[in-house]
Amino acid sequence: MKKQLGPSDAIFPVPAALIVCGTNENANIITLAWVGIASSTPPTIGISVRQSRYSLGLIRNTGEFSVNFPGASIFKEVDYCGITTGRRRNKFKDTGFTPMASRKIKPPIIKECPYNIECRVSQEIILGDYVHILGEIFESHVDEDKVDTSKRAGFDVLKINPLVYFAEAREYWSVGEKLGYGFNAGKDIKKKIKKP
């Protein structure tokens, strides 16, 4: 038996990412959970921003934003950026986060986040109260001490210890153990299926 939950948005886990918008002079940080890769070619990320957010105007002004993926240890700063508006506060100053110049876009990246990407807006879709913004990815950065060339990704995700979020429960989590490899673990089942 299953219990129906209605048209729920409770998928989990999702990232709790820090989006930086604006220029070095007026840079602002907004915490977003509605963040996900939308295409590999061209590399594109989708973010959903409520129409009332101060950050939306800043993203539209430059047509650019950075997405910064925090480690689990800075979840309080991440939450702060999601309960405070840049209309009244400088969230870089309040959290102690350090803005670092991006390579390809005007908004800076956050030094204290181990993984960062630089994007330019390619499309906007209005979805009720939200605007879904697609950003093409032009550059990505990882902390040098997390680099591991023996890994397929080029870095060690355990060293990053990424923060994840269970939005419906409003809970921050860290990731657990590695279970296996994508495009590979399913081969065990494939082997068991008898060829006709």
Ligand X SMILES: Cc1cc2nc3c(=O)[nH]c(=O)nc-3n(C[C@H](O)[C@H](O)[C@H](O)COP(=O)(O)O)c2cc1C
Residues lying near ligand X in the complex (CB under 6 A) are found at 16, 28, 30-34, 48-50, 53-55, 79, 82-87, 165
Report the nearest approach of ligand X to the CB of residue 159 (Å).
23
Report the nearest approach of ligand X to the CB of residue 77 (Å).
11
Report the nearest approach of ligand X to the CB of residue 97 (Å).
14
What is the identity of the amino acid at 98? T
Specify the residue, 14 or 155, whose C-beta has the smaller distance to ligand X.
Answer: 14
Specify the residue, 50 or 120, whose C-beta has the smaller distance to ligand X.
Answer: 50
Specify the residue, 16 or 119, whose C-beta has the smaller distance to ligand X.
Answer: 16
State the DSSP string of 23-68. -TTT-EEEEES-EEEEEETTEEEEEEEETT-HHHHHHHHHTEEEEE
Residue sitting closest to ligand X (CB): 82
Could you tell me the two tokens for 172?
Answer: 């921050």
Q: How far apart, in whole angstroms, are the C-alpha atoms of residue 66 and residue 111? A: 12
Report the nearest approach of ligand X to the CB of residue 62 (Å).
14
Specify the residue, 16 or 134, whose C-beta has the smaller distance to ligand X.
Answer: 16
Contacts of 165 (CB under 8 A, 6+ apart): 12, 13, 14, 15, 16, 33, 171, 172, 173
Specify the residue, 10 or 147, whose C-beta has the smaller distance to ligand X.
Answer: 10
Compute φ and ψ for 134, nearest 5 degrees: -100, 130
What is the identity of the amino acid at 47? I
Report the nearest approach of ligand X to the CB of residue 167 (Å).
7
